[in-house]
Structure 1
Amino acid sequence: MLTSLIYPEPGQLTTAFDTQLATGVVSTNIFDGLMSYDAGGQPVPSLATSWQTSPDGKTLTFHLRHGVKWHDGVALTSADVRYSALHVWKEVHPRGRVTFAELQDVKTPDPFTAVFLFAHPSPVVMSVLNAMEAPVLPAHLYEGTNVLTNPYNQKPVGTGPFMFEKWQHGDYVVLKRNPAYWDTGKPYLDKLIFRIIPDSGARAAMLESGEAQYAPHSLIALQDLQRLKGENLKVETRGYAWSSPFLTLEINLRNPVLKDLKVRQALAHAIDRDGLVKLIWFGLGKPATGPVPSSVSQFYTPDVTRYAFDPAAADKLLDEAGYPRKANGVRFTLREDYMPFNNFDRSAQFIKQNLKRVGIDVIIRAQDVAGHLRSVYGTYDYDIDVAQFSSFLDPQVGVDRILWSKAIKPGVPFANASGYTNAVVDQAIEASQIEGDSTKRIAEFHTLQKQTMLDLPMLPLMELHQFTVYSAKLHGVNTNVDGAFSSLKGAWLNQ
């Protein structure tokens, strides 16, 4: 038996339409995707054993594994894949509505073949078919129902290595071993218990005492990490490259002060990104150079405009923009919001001190999750916002929505809160979404990065290194690029 820590409590137990990390920790043990990804980010078989792409890039054929059963004993077929792709990933998944936008139909010539038909080449799809991003759901339990309110979201039936047993709301979720799992011999553990623990200090104490053995997705306060790391507990930063998270400062271009490019350039020069990484994030990351992290090496370019930490340059730009210091030394005031998660409050304080040095007064506003989402993405009632995003293996999944003018939709979280509109960036995004030639597609993403760092609608701060803390007695922790977003089927405990 393994006890894992999660927080916050999931609203339901499938990532089909709720991609919260805590949901994923549970869901990926219950459901499978068509594939997973290896240490190099290449796809490896899961429910699909092989696949082929047509020469024109518009047809993707999957050959499904034989003998796979849902936890209720019904056989998995291509009908399940068709239903999941067309009516779940494409319609209700928050990112899938973009990544599967070109998907027109899924043909099922036999129970073990699913043929995806696209209006245009959609290479992005090959990076989002794991259990976290595209779980295959049982059509016989979902078809004809409202996916969002289906009761099986609370008592899920999957094909994965563990089966749902119990959910004590506010306390824990229990999964038990699937004895009929298709990956013969796995899982090794008999039971998984996911404890919902709100307090970071309590989570650290449970790991120290051995009451819990696994805590993914940076659930421990950074200042506690060095104390915890030792003979009894391990800290692992591998397993997160699939999401490639980064910290950024969203800038509301609707604000007449922030609309001035010189002011945004001054912000870029005023913030000490090296200091942010070292002092606030304890070295768990590196300064960002643009909206695509360097870990997404296929699409990343270092050839962008850079803004070195230079308060004198920031002062000069603010003077040129027409915002001299007043008698009290203050040029103007900005409100700073931040995502109400671990360490973001300290990041906001650090940025406040940086900006104070160049004469910008900052008022930090702390809100709960609902209030933050409403202010930043609903009413756009904010000035600057410390936010975390993920690029994923393909920036089309995570970066497009921050910078694309067509993503500006009041009330849609994590989608172009800056109000940024640029024809060059829009063209690059839209071309990359349907370009089948990889060289040309990469060039479009390079254009996006270069133009964005000229315009600065947001200021990329740092590439985050998320971490997992686990017991030294736990072996087989998945460190592939999507390891932290995968099941614990290969894990075991020494007693």
Structure 2
Amino acid sequence: MSINSSPTLLQRWSRPLAIAALFLAGLSSVHAQTPKRGGTLTVIAQPEPVILTAALSTSSPTGIFSTNVFDGLIEYDNAFHLKPGLAVKWAFSPDGKTLTLNLRQGVKWHDGKPFTSADVKWTLENVWKKYHPRNQALFANAESVDTPDDYTVIVHFSKPSLAVLSSLNSNGAQVLPKHLYEGTDILNNPYNNKPVGTGPFIFRKWVKGDYILLERNPDYWDKGKPYLDKVIYRVIPDGGARTAALEKGEVQYAPLSPVPARDAQRLAKLPTLKVDTKGYEWLSPWLFLDINNERPQLKDARVRQALYLAIDRNAYNRVVWSGFGKPAVSPVVSTLTEFFEPNVPQYPYDVAKANALLDQAGYKAGANGTRFKLTIDYLPYGDEFLRSAEFIKQAFKRIGIDADIRNQDTPTYTRRIYGDRDYDVTIQWYAGFSDPQVGVTREYQSDSIGKNIPFTNGSGYRNAQVDQWIREAQASGDQAERVKLFKQFQRQVQTDLPSLPLLELHFFTVHSADLNDTVSGVDQVYGSFKNVWYTDPSKHP
């Protein structure tokens, strides 16, 4: 089947959103202006990336940065349609087992070497299948890759792999230059932190703890783009300082809810700034409380149910996230209408029931009212995560659980959760993306436990039936069968509760009012700035 002419997996679940996006696009085209060349865009990077290559890390700071240095094989527009990137055509065979990609000719890496099919083949075989947290599963059934010429890639799968086209953009499947990586220690290759890509901007400098500098690629294949001269990523750890930098015009773009939501409401009223929630649709983000299922008290499902019942998710959304979210009932967000299963076990706020479950589990309150103690770790990505920990600490106190909050930097945090597994509970968010196989099942599949692969199964959850359903969904060429399996999966994991879905997050971006075309696709937060331009570039030298 030709994917260029057939509805994609993305399109099938996104019709209402696509219609709205097309309507908005139509309105904006009425007032279309000619983009202007020049200017420097200053972006908030919070927290600072640990690595600058998304082929080896799915962290959001890395994704926000590296997609300006690297192109994707395909792109997504505002209606979830696939657009050419480094690949100009793509098609699956009728049985869904062979994917042919026809690559763009004349593209060069930033060091002047030609981009060819050999780069795609090498990256798939040596990076995506071995190291990438999501692509290990997504390309698990890729048996071989043929490159009959420099511009054709043919991927042969042992089983149908329909979800692949949901993640072939720059963030989902970033291609690395074979000539700089082959024969090296890939995870410690110096080009991971001085990346050489094919994208619209060229990496120039990383002053750790301060800023990262990119400059316009004058030989970019998308002629005339990018419009900006430079992009600077500034590291500003303090939330108040980030708010002030935006307000003063020192920073012109800040994604992924960069300031406290209450500040965003105030900033949105300023004539010099805009707050936008578009460009996150591809992410399908959900926030959850991950639980170490191997801890003695937390092995009991009744205890995990009690923790869930003790958290008032409506109040949590209102108090901590200022309404920039929606209480979750499943790890698959409700906007993924094709896959979402609403008929899962429900755990509405009920302190009395939570206390009764803890009594049944044998954890009676002591003379001081305490049953046991826990430590809460939180993803160090901003104020809302710390405030989340404080909110949940108070929720646990109402059911006799005394909690301490632990703070740490990102490398320490990821090693603690995914390597050492030295934690009790943690507040985390994952992008579910447009298909559960891409972003959701990694949290529940058991084969990644303890391997220090960030943003995979941190709970230690093992369920042979769930693993089997995941494998069957990965291998099925029947979309209806895949939907059925993923709905069974949701019902089971919401019964076992290895982790607790709390909110479907509604991230926002704060940007200067004179910055144009900041959203060109549903994955914009992980897209490039090649279409972005200033109304008056001279004001941003």
Which bracket does the TM-score occupy, shorter chain normalised? over 0.9
- Secondary structure of 2:212's counterpart equals strand
Structure 2 CA distance for partners of 1:255 and 1:299, relative to 1, 3 Å: same
* Distance in 2 between residues matched to 1:212 and 1:331, nearest whole Å: 48
The equivalent of 2:493 in structure 1 is 452
Q: How far did 1:333 drift? A: 2.7
1:67 pairs with one of 88, 106, 112:
106
Q: How far did 1:47 drift? A: 0.9
1:387 corresponds to 2:428: yes
Q: How far did 1:204 drift? A: 1.8
Q: TM-score, normalised by structure 2?
A: 0.86
The equivalent of 1:210 in structure 2 is 249
The equivalent of 1:129 in structure 2 is 168
Structure 2 CA distance for partners of 1:433 and 1:377, relative to 1, 3 Å: same
Identity %: 53
The equivalent of 2:73 in structure 1 is 34
Q: Can you list the C-alpha shifts for 1:138-182, whole angstroms capped at 9, x where unaligned?
A: 233333333333343343332211223333343322222223322
Structure 2 residue runs without a partner (length 5+): 1-39, 537-541
More displaced stretch, 360-369 vs 110-119: 360-369
Residues 41 and 393, structure 1, Cα contact 8 Å, conserved in 2: no
Structure 2 CA distance for partners of 1:473 and 1:442, relative to 1, 3 Å: same
2:518 pairs with one of 477, 485, 491:
477
1:201 corresponds to 2:240: yes
1:302 corresponds to 2:326: no
* Distance in 1 between residues matched to 2:344 and 2:145, nearest whole Å: 40
The equivalent of 2:231 in structure 1 is 192
- Secondary structure of 1:104's counterpart equals strand
* Distance in 2 between residues matched to 1:398 and 1:378, nearest whole Å: 20
More displaced stretch, 275-284 vs 177-186: 177-186
- Secondary structure of 2:298's counterpart equals coil
- Secondary structure of 1:7's counterpart equals coil
Q: How far did 1:431 drift? A: 0.8
* Distance in 2 between residues matched to 1:365 and 1:177, nearest whole Å: 41
Q: How far did 1:55 drift? A: 1.7
1:258 corresponds to 2:298: yes
Q: Can you list the C-alpha shifts for 1:205-252, whole angstroms capped at 9, x where unaligned?
A: 221111211111222233321222221111112212222221111222
2:423 partner letter: Y
* Structure 1 segment 275-294 matched on structure 2, within 5 A: 275-294=315-334
1:379 partner letter: D
The equivalent of 1:44 in structure 2 is 83
* Distance in 1 between residues matched to 2:206 and 2:404, nearest whole Å: 41
Residues 238 and 479, structure 1, Cα contact 8 Å, conserved in 2: no
2:525 partner letter: A
* Distance in 1 between residues matched to 2:379 and 2:203, nearest whole Å: 31
1:402 pairs with one of 440, 443, 453:
443
- Secondary structure of 1:481's counterpart equals coil
* Distance in 2 between residues matched to 1:402 and 1:190, nearest whole Å: 40
Q: How far did 1:129 drift? A: 1.0
1:110 pairs with one of 149, 154, 158:
149
2:283 partner letter: S
Q: Can you list the C-alpha shifts for 1:453-482, whole angstroms capped at 9, x where unaligned?
A: 111111111111122110001010025221
Structure 2 CA distance for partners of 1:158 and 1:254, relative to 1, 3 Å: closer
* Distance in 1 between residues matched to 2:176 and 2:507, nearest whole Å: 29
Q: How far did 1:262 drift? A: 2.2
Residues 409 and 415, structure 1, Cα contact 8 Å, conserved in 2: no
1:427 corresponds to 2:468: yes
More displaced stretch, 437-446 vs 150-159: 150-159
The equivalent of 2:18 in structure 1 is none
The equivalent of 2:409 in structure 1 is 368
- Secondary structure of 1:444's counterpart equals helix
More displaced stretch, 153-162 vs 300-309: 153-162
* Distance in 2 between residues matched to 1:397 and 1:220, nearest whole Å: 28
Q: How many residues align?
A: 495
1:472 partner letter: A
CA root-mean-square deviation? 2.0
- Secondary structure of 1:29's counterpart equals coil
The equivalent of 2:41 in structure 1 is 2
* Structure 1 segment 221-260 matched on structure 2, within 5 A: 221-230=260-269, 231-260=271-300
Structure 1 residue runs without a partner (length 5+): none
Q: How far did 1:12 drift? A: 4.2
2:202 pairs with one of 154, 157, 163:
163
Structure 2 CA distance for partners of 1:159 and 1:357, relative to 1, 3 Å: same
1:138 pairs with one of 177, 181, 195:
177
Structure 2 CA distance for partners of 1:250 and 1:148, relative to 1, 3 Å: closer
- Secondary structure of 2:299's counterpart equals coil
* Distance in 2 between residues matched to 1:48 and 1:425, nearest whole Å: 35
Q: Can you list the C-alpha shifts for 1:297-339, whole angstroms capped at 9, x where unaligned?
A: 3321111111111112222322333333333333333332222
Q: Can you list the C-alpha shifts for 1:364-386, whole angstroms capped at 9, x where unaligned?
A: 33333344334433333332222
The equivalent of 1:173 in structure 2 is 212
- Return structure 1 stretches of 4+ with deviation > 6 angstroms: none
* Distance in 2 between residues matched to 1:325 and 1:164, nearest whole Å: 57
Q: How far did 1:74 drift? A: 3.2
- Secondary structure of 2:475's counterpart equals coil
2:303 partner letter: V
